[in-house]
Structure 1
């Protein structure tokens, strides 16, 4: 009989451990892109929205803007796993839609082309880490792979 993963085991090989590493990796990837883009290449990540003061997006802002959505994504996946066997598919579609929508502020703010490129790359880096990790660790995906053995 195939063993079904419920996502409740502890340790680095558990879905929760893998997701925690995914969140850390996504945040680290965004910060690495910031470190290359701002300090090394000199693209000051100063953005200005109409009617507001310019804001300099430093490492702290990039870290928070990567960490918070990553944790919210984890919470959404966990909630979906409790209510539907299609959690992985629904979460992935939502994540891809959110990634697309996340580019709207980048397009609409006033910033240099280099700054916009760095910001866009941070969004892509977070998605490139989180989407595969969360897809692989979704309970329905673990159940599917276990039943094929």
Structure 2
């Protein structure tokens, strides 16, 4: 059941990233255009974004599974802190010159959206039912 829930978190994170990429631009009424770099303007399309999200979410799942085996007592805390720390530099490309403010905002939406689904989705612990034994002495 744990794998199914975690696979659902990965699929949900990827789906949310794609929906936010495809939906936010048209919702704001503009295309993602970045100037600078190669001569002229460059229009950003969805391209490999879903592949990058799939790879990064699967890497997150794999690293969390490894931590659970190596450090079961601290795995959730270590992984959550690491994931949150890695979220911050993911915004670095948005600081590059040549983007309109609306483009920066629209491109920043998928980052916290994916993290907001993936972090709790992978680390969630189901509540113990009231009738379940507590593990203490009877």
**Could you say which TM-score interval applies, normalised by the shorter chain?**
0.7 to 0.9
- Larger-Rg structure: 2
CA shift, 1:52, in A, is 4.4
Name the structure 2 match of 1:61. 48
The TM-score, its normalising length taken from structure 2, stands at 0.79
1:31 to 18, 29, 37: 18
More helix per residue: 1
Name the structure 2 match of 1:114. 102
Partners of 1:147 and 1:58 in 2: CA distance: 53
RMSD: 2.5
Q: Quick check: 1:22–1:133 contact (8 Å CA) kept in 2? A: yes
Structure 1: unaligned runs, 5 residues or longer: 1-13
Partners of 2:20 and 2:91 in 1: CA distance: 16
After TM superposition, list the pairs within 5 Å mapping 1:70-89 onto structure 2.
Answer: 70-85=57-72, 86-89=74-77
**1:55–1:22 Cα change, 3 Å:** farther
The TM-score, its normalising length taken from structure 1, stands at 0.74
Aligned-partner SS, 1:110: coil
Corresponding pairs, count: 130
Q: Quick check: 1:22–1:129 contact (8 Å CA) kept in 2? A: yes
Name the structure 1 match of 2:3. 16
